Amino acid sequence: MSLEDLKKIPFGKTVIELKNISLAFGGVKALTDVSFDVKKGEVFAIIGPNGAGKSSMLNVINGFYKPTSGAINFAGTDRNEMEPELAAKSGIARTFQNIALFKGMSTLDNLMTGRLLKQKQNFLMQALYFGPVAKEEEEHRERVERVIDFLDLQSIRRTPVGSLPYGLQKRVELGRALAMEPEILLLDEPMAGMNVEEKQDMSRFVLTVNNELKTTIVLIEHDMGVVMDISDRIVVLDYGKKIGSGLPKEIRSNKAVIDAYLGVSDD
Amino acid sequence: MIYKETGQYKSSYKSDHAIFPLLQDKIAFSTLMFIAFLIIPFVINSYWEKAILVPFLIFSLAAIGLNILTGYCGQVSLGTGGFMAVGAFSTYKIMTYFPDMNIMIIILISGLITAAVGIIFGLPSLRIKGFYLAVATLASQFFLVWLFNKVPWFYNYSDTGQITVSERTMFGIPVTGAEAPSYATYLFCLVLVVTLSFAAKNLIRSKMGRSWMAIRDMDIAAEIIGVPPLKTKLSAFAISSFYIGVAGALYFAVFLGAIEVTESFDIMTISFPVLFMIIIGGLGSMLGSFLGAAFVVTLPIGLKFLMVDMVGLSAVTAKHFEITIWGLLMIVFLIVEPHGLARLWSIAKEKLRRWPFPY
């Protein structure tokens, strides 16, 4: 499995297939026998009530959690677990539910960290900072500036991200993930805590990334309006189990999903 | 008005990423370098050399080293004294085995040896963080000093346990030993400090530095973007130890000439003061390393001057007062300006930008 394998897969074909994933922390079963697949180039949403195991699912895909059982088929290779670093190298980027930015660094530096994997010069060259290093640095800066333009971050380029408002921090985090030029983008509640306008902006960014850069997007989101509007396919989790999957309109009329969200009456 | 950046446009990413992007900084830095290289060597005397300039330069280097590890990579270390001892004893041993080797090369090799030792003591950093890591590095401090005390091979079986530097020259001028003229030791340190500072600054503003800061600010997120935690932390330990090792080598070979390990590389004489330097100067700031070193080196001299020469206290009383004031200042500093002198400087710059029309 590598970035090249991933790039070779035609659009519409499966890139990630999760087979009977179970994840337990001691006696707590976070995920039980969950299977689904993500196709290349789609916007795939994972939804479910609080504590359904959505973030755990992303963490499994991303290599943070090792599944207790089950396998992940990633770009044609079966594997039991991932490593975060390997995931990054093979083109998976992600954002977090509760922002995980480098707070002491400026917006620009935060985005530049997204390029770290692609910078190849060794440290002696960096210490001397001549020729190739300076050139490489500028090259990546140019890429990052494109992301800054795209996300309208010009005015906060030099601001330490710790002092930015919440909505902007979310946007910078998306920027850092985009700076990695990922094939697959995992978004953990990208719109949580935003107002309507910010949500619209964010949806626009997500859709543009999907349309223009052809990035596969897996997202977790609670705002049903957004999810139904922007996603191609949806999987629904409840108490760690998959209770439904399919197109947005199928999910909307799925009995089990409605019960999970609204509760079941006794009669 | 003085610090006006209006009208200084950057037309390339290169100029935007320069070490001194502003014209004022460039002028100030060039002036400083001019004074340091072309004026001070001609007017320097033994007092300025031994009491202020050489210790300032050496401790700046140690502070840069510790700042790389603690300020940039977020790994607290209390083992500075131990690592400086490694640098000093490496220099001593290389000097005895290779009498003809150039002193510059000896010192750089000592730095590399210290870097290797630093990597070994950095290994626990993958598992432990914060205070616990500080305690682990404290162990390295005590272990290394104990080692240099207990194994006579390190001090060539001398009766006193002291190590003494022999004379070495650069371009025919002695830079170590009792005969070295003031300007030579000063320039020797200055060249090393300036070169290594630029190297450190370059590392910090490129890939390496961003990896360190990513680990410092949030190691989980760093891992997600593909920064390997172990490798990054160990690289910080290695490079930091290299700087501290070179500082230790200079401290022994150029500054003191003869040392006794428990006395010279004690936790109270090296490890804590260097940590104070970077805290007072500013964690994660190159300028802070220098300001902190200058502050810590000159404060006792200033206090002594004030109390003994001006007020007329006896030297012993003054010494006691000095320690008290020292501690007091430290506390005041941490409460009033936890980001250190470097932060004060940037506030001053902000003020100067608007002065005299603060609208």
Q: Which strands, in side-by-side order, build the sheet including A14-25? A: A28-39, A14-25, A69-74, A77-79
Q: String of b and e for A60-87 (b: at least 16 CB within 10 Å)?
A: bbbbbbebeebbbbbbeeeeeebebbbb
Q: Can you give the residue range of the structural domain that contains A113?
A: 102-181
- A69 located within any domain: yes
Chain B hits for A62, CB-CB cut-off 8 Å, are 224
Kindly state whether A166 is in contact with chain B, defined as any CB-CB distance less than 8 angstroms: no
Of A181, A198, A233, the one marking the end of a domain is: A181
Beta strands in chain A (DSSP E): 14-25, 28-39, 43-47, 69-74, 77-79, 92-95, 184-188, 216-220, 233-238, 241-246
- Mark which residues 172-211 of A lie under 8 Å from B by CB: 176, 180
Same domain, A177 and A64: no
Alpha helices in A151-186 (DSSP H): 166-179
CA-nearest of B222, B223, B211 to A82 is B223
**ipTM rounded to 2 decimals:** 0.85
Predicted confidence (pLDDT) per residue in B282-318, tens digit: 888 888 899 989 988 888 888 878 877 777 777 788 7
* A220, A262: one domain: yes
**A97 domain residue, yes or no:** no
- Chain-chain contact of B213 with A102 (C-beta, under 8 angstroms): yes
| pLDDT tens by residue, chain A, 267 residues | 567 777 777 787 888 888 888 888 888 888 888 888 888 889 999 988 888 888 888 888 888 888 888 888 887 777 766 788 888 888 888 898 888 888 888 899 899 988 888 777 777 777 777 778 888 888 888 889 989 989 888 888 888 888 888 888 989 999 999 998 888 999 998 888 888 888 998 999 999 999 888 899 999 988 888 888 889 999 988 888 888 888 888 888 888 888 887 777 766
Q: Do A85 and B208 touch (CB under 8 A)?
A: no
Residue whose entry in the numeric block shows the structure tokens 């590598």:
A2
Q: Is B268 exposed, middle or buried (0-12, 13-18, 19+ CB in 10 A)?
A: exposed
Q: Say how many domains are in chain A.
A: 2
Mutation site for B-interface testing, chosen from A102, A119, A142, A144 by largest number of B Cβ within 10 Å: A102
Give the percent of chain B with pLDDT over 70.
97
What pLDDT, on a 0 to 100 scale, did the predictor assign at position A81?
65
- A255 in a structural domain: yes
Residue A20 covered by a domain: yes
> A102 and B218 in contact by Cβ < 8 A?
yes
Same domain, A126 and A167: yes
Cα–Cα dist B211/B282, whole Å: 20
By Cβ distance, the residue of A116, A128, A142 closest to B225 is A116
Same domain, A175 and A187: no
* Angstrom distance (rounded) from CA B340 to CA B346: 10
Domain final position from A127, A156, A181: A181
Q: A167 in a domain, yes or no?
A: yes
CA distance A122 to chain B (A): 9
- Residues A123 and A112 both lie in one domain: yes
Record the tokens describing residue B227, joined without a space. Answer: 């920064």
- What's A14's domain CATH number? 3.40.50.300
Which residue in the set A85, A123, A141 is minimally distant from B223, CB to CB? A85
What is d(CA B114, CA B120) in angstroms, rounded to the nearest whole number? 10
Q: Is it the case that residue B255 has pLDDT exceeding 70? A: yes
Is the CB of residue A100 less than 8 Å away from at least one CB of chain B?
yes
Q: Pairing mode, if any, of strands A233-238 and A43-47?
A: parallel
Question: Does position B149 have pLDDT exceeding 90, yes or no?
Answer: no
Strand-pairing partners, residue A72, are A18, A79
A235 in the same domain as A265: yes
Asked if residue A68 and residue A127 are part of one domain, the reply reads no
**What pLDDT score was predicted for residue B131?**
83
Q: Which among A153, A181, A209 is the end of a domain?
A: A181
Cα separation of the two ends of chain B: 12
Please, which pLDDT band fits residue B2 given cuts at 50, 70 and 90?
A: low
B224 with A127: Cβ contact below 8 A: no
Same domain, residue pair A87 and A2: yes
pLDDT value for B157: 84
Q: How far is A133 from chain B (nearest CA, A)?
A: 8
Q: Do B202 and A103 touch (CB under 8 A)?
A: no
Kindly state the average pLDDT of the residues B270-281.
87
Size of interface A-B (CB pairs under 8 A): 101
* Residue A157 domain flag: yes
Report d(CA B359, CA B237) in Å as an integer.
46
Q: What is the pLDDT of residues B17-65, one digit of tens each?
A: 777 777 778 888 888 989 888 888 888 888 888 888 999 999 999 999 9
Q: Are A81 and A114 members of one domain? A: no
Indicate whether A247 and A134 sit together in one domain.
no
Answer yes or no: is pLDDT of B179 > 80: no
Q: Per the domain annotation, does A79 fall within a domain? A: yes
A122 and A230 part of one domain = no
Partners of residue B17 in chain A, C-beta under 8 Å: 137-138, 141
With an 8 Å Cβ cutoff, are B226 and A117 in contact?
yes
Asked if the structure places residue A96 within a domain, the reply is no
Q: Is A235 in the B-facing interface, judged by CB distances under 8 Å?
A: no
A79 lies in the same domain as A191: yes
Domains of chain B: 46-354 (1.10.3470)
What residues of B are in contact with residue A180 (Cβ under 8 Å)? 225-226
State whether residue A141 sits within 8 Å of chain B by CB: yes
Is the Cβ pair A104, B217 closer than 8 Å?
A: yes
Rounded to an integer, what distance in angstroms lies between the CA atom of residue B5 and that of residue A165? 27
